[in-house]
Chain A
Amino acid sequence: MSALPVASGHSRALVIRNLVKEYRPGQPVLRDISLTVSEPGIVAIIGPSGTGKSTLIRCINRLVDPTSGSIVLGGTDLAKLQGEALRQARRRLGMVFQEYNLVERLTVIENVLCGRLGYVPVWRAWTRRFPEADIARAFSLLDSVGLTEFATRRADQLSGGQRQRVGIARAVMQDPDLVLADEPTSSLDPKTSVEIMELLAKVGRERDIPVLVNIHNVALAKRYALRIIGMSKGLVVYDGPPGGLQDTHLAEIYGGEGWME
């Protein structure tokens, strides 16, 4: 593996060092992960089921608490944060979920505005009186994900692909420095999956931020990612451009070869 890049001066760089996660003591799921992500665009994480991809992503925004190691973003170590400071930091981390995780009984626009909850006081959430600038931006985000007509539709009336677009708009609404996406396309058909990856790539490009995507579809990963991270058994076993990902790497990541035929 190549040495970690030294020049991580980019203020938005995510620098993970020696990250270990054990759900049960003595049984590490993440063994010793060190990564630096600073370049904008999609960084795909691939690897077999159960290897700890979701755990890694959820450690970054602390939906899961790491056992040891540091996760530095823009100069702060996310692994050490608690309470109010953690909330402040989470605002800068957008997350997109496999099952969209929308509030079903709220409208699309309300779901997008949920991305502002870290910024606005509770009374605004209660009365739904979000700042006008936020509302205007929520609408323009809906335009850019192609859901202009659906603003006042309830989220549970949307198709999977439409819901994922709302999920992405909600993440972008946070004004994130980094977007995390845990298998954003696994519940979608092939065509919609491509559209969603397209959208995530656009978010990375236009906002000039890294988009870390867990994905099982290697072809999609190769097509959209600028960099691929291959994980196996809690370790990073490949880290480089999609072009360099050979069958031997895939065999190492997923194990065996018969499945590749």
Chain B
Amino acid sequence: MSAPPLATGSLRARAFPPNWPLRIGAALFLIYVGYAARILDIRWERFVQGLDNGAKFLGRMFPPNVAADKMQLLLSGMLESLQIAIIATAAGVLLALPLGLFAARNLMPLPVTIAARGVIALCRTFHPVIVAILFVKAVGFGALAGVMALVIATLGFIAKLIAEAIEEMSMKPIEALRAAGAPFLSVVTMGVVPQVLPRFIGFAAYQLDSNLRNSALVGLVGGGGIGATLFTAFQRFDYDFVLTIIIAIIVTVMAGEVLSAFMRRIYQDEAPSGIVVESPAGRLWRRFTPLERGLRLAFWSLAALALGWSLQTIEVIPEFLYDAPEQTADLFARMWPIDWSYFGKTVGEALVETLHTATLGTILAILLATPVALMCARNVSPSPWVNAIGRFILVATRSIHTLVWALLFVAVFGPGALAGVMAVAVHSIGFTGKFLSEAIEEAKAGPIEALRAAGASRLSVLLKGFWPQVKPAFLAVSLFRWDINVRESAVLGLVGAGGLGVALQASMDNLYWDQVGLVLLVIFVVVVVTEIVTTTIRSRVI
């Protein structure tokens, strides 16, 4: 069968005409990367020299230090971090339940949701490290400040997700229960909870391992736990012990992930359907089988035990706790009036540096994460070994917080934004790669098989089969990560990796609280603007 000739006189259609917008976009992109790199003083020589340093640095890290006294330090640090994470998760999640409910616009009157959303926004704006710094100033060094900072972070994160989950649920059953005359709390119990529970369990489990990671973070600024141990090791140039600690953190976080996956499986997959029992009064229904009841009882007892143990060991000095609101208020009072002149001197430049660090870091992260994501995706790399290696890279990069990576890269590249960009990029590999690989695995097999059947090369299968399908997810993840990275970049300076954090550290060291006030205000504005920008782009483009 021969195709009829194309209408004569028409231009010859090309299968893939040059895409000018794409080319111009790519050129602008390259120009930006070059420009930003110059601003941040990222040069090839510095990079090469850094690699040289890095080799020496690695040499000093190996073999990891496992001397008995160090192990003692490690153990007590890890236990304290674990306790911080447990208390913060329990308290944060408990507080987030009502807060998230109050913020749900489909259940609550408008003024209540506005107030609740205000609280959530406040909790989310500042990086936990900044919150930790403020609490350390308010209640003194130690685990309590760390716990409070992580409670705030958990509260903001979980309450927002709960509110979103509630707003996305179906209102139909809610209407039916209201029509049956159910009181509000019964509507919540039987109508709202069943609908949002699976997602809620997911967040709570995620938050536990996120807090495990973050508890290493708050320690860097005096919030106790393994972070404090790590920071001390860095200051003493005990790099072999640093490696031990890092390995321990990765292992713990991995264990945490396994645990939370287990918890999700128990609670999330199938809602219990209960059993029917015959009794003299007629048939009865019990929500749980004896086995389910036992498992739940065991779970809750374990959770209660863990919480009790944590509360007992973490020193919560009541006087300090009661004093905290007053101390915090006093702190803010000292920031007023704000020293605006500091902006022209230092903060403006630091702000530009922070934004470029976040952007370059995100770009680099995407470049690094794409091959790892391809390794992880089972429909692209069929070898389980390759999958496993990819997954390990994702977990390892993600387990170590940006700030800890920044400490490492400052040691390698010296202080400055280069270390910051590297830290942002490497830490983001885990997050970006995880979501990318999931998007790739969700790609429909049909078009892929069609291309393979037509004998397309591997590269063309990727470009013409997978890419169109994962593009929306790719853009969404990049944008989301950029948003996070702006927040992270604002605090990297606390460990010398450039940006607003340097200005924050300097003014705090000098006790110039009016300057601290300015930096915090700038960070606040940047975070809010970033969030507005990303949500607008998201709603327009994706």
Contact = CB atoms under 8 A, between A and B. Distances in A.
A120 B276 CA distance: 21
Interface stretch (B278-286, B329-337, B344-352, B361-369): B278-286
Nearest to B197: A105
Contacts of B294: none
Given A105-B271, A106-B190, A99 B179 contact: no
A224 interface: no
A101 B190 CA distance: 13
A89 B271 CA distance: 32
A170 B173 contact: no
B13 interface: no
Given A106-B194, A136-B284, A140-B282, A90 B173 contact: no
A210 to B, nearest CB: 17
Contacts of B281: 132-133, 136
A122 B274 contact: no
A251 interface: no
B275 interface: yes
How big is the B interface, by class?
Answer: 20 to 34
Contacts of B287: 127-128
Interface string B183-208: 10111011100110110000000000
A103 B191 contact: yes
B282 A125 contact: no
Contacts of A127: 287
Contacts of B176: 95, 97, 101-102, 114, 167, 170
B273 interface: yes
Nearest to A109: B285
Interface in A56-97: 61, 63, 86-91, 93-95, 97
A110 interface: yes
Nearest to A116: B180
Nearest to B192: A103
Contact of B195 (A105, A122, A138): A105
B177 interface: yes
B172 A97 contact: yes
B181 A174 contact: yes
Nearest to B193: A126
B285 A151 contact: yes
A118 interface: yes
B108 interface: no
A128 B286 CA distance: 8
A254 interface: no
Contact of A103 (B173, B279, B284): B173
B279 A132 contact: yes
B444 interface: no
Given A122-B185, A125-B186, A174-B180, A135 B283 contact: yes
A33 interface: no
Contact of B179 (A93, A122, A136, A154): A93
Contacts of A136: 281-284
A90 B180 contact: yes
B79 to A, nearest CB: 35
B199 to A, nearest CB: 11
A81 to B, nearest CB: 11
Given A140-B282, A153-B273, A95 B180 contact: yes
Given A122-B183, A140-B282, A153-B273, A101 B175 contact: yes
Contacts of B276: 139, 151-152
A101 B191 CA distance: 10
A89 B274 contact: no
A117 B182 contact: yes
Contacts of B265: none
B178 interface: yes
A107 interface: yes
A106 B287 CA distance: 10
Interface string A135-178: 11011100000000001111000000000000100110010000
Contact of B284 (A125, A132, A170): A132
A61 B180 CA distance: 9
Contacts of A133: 281
Nearest to A103: B173
A37 B177 CA distance: 25
B183 A103 contact: no
Contacts of A152: 273-276, 285
A106 B181 CA distance: 19
Contact of A114 (B182, B183, B185, B197): B182
A88 B170 CA distance: 25
Contacts of A170: 176, 180
A125 B190 contact: yes
A115 interface: yes
Contacts of B170: 104
A171 B6 CA distance: 66
B448 to A, nearest CB: 31
Given A125-B189, A135-B284, A154-B271, A104 B173 contact: yes
A245 to B, nearest CB: 30
A87 B282 contact: no
A97 B195 CA distance: 19
Contacts of A89: 181
Contacts of A139: 276, 282-283, 285
Contacts of B190: 103, 106, 110, 114, 117, 125
Contact of A95 (B179, B191, B198, B275): B179
Contacts of A171: 180
Nearest to A138: B285
Given A63-B178, A132-B284, A107 B186 contact: no
Nearest to A119: B181
Given A125-B186, A140-B282, A152-B285, A102 B173 contact: yes
A63 to B, nearest CB: 6
15 contacts: A87-B182, A102-B176, A103-B177, A103-B195, A105-B194, A107-B274, A117-B180, A117-B186, A117-B187, A122-B183, A127-B287, A138-B285, A152-B273, A170-B176, A171-B180
Which 9 A-B residue pairs are closest in the complex by CB-CB distance?
Answer: A118-B181, A136-B282, A117-B182, A90-B181, A91-B181, A101-B176, A101-B172, A152-B273, A105-B194
Interface of B: 170, 172-173, 175-183, 185-187, 189-191, 194-195, 197-198, 271, 273-276, 279, 281-285, 287
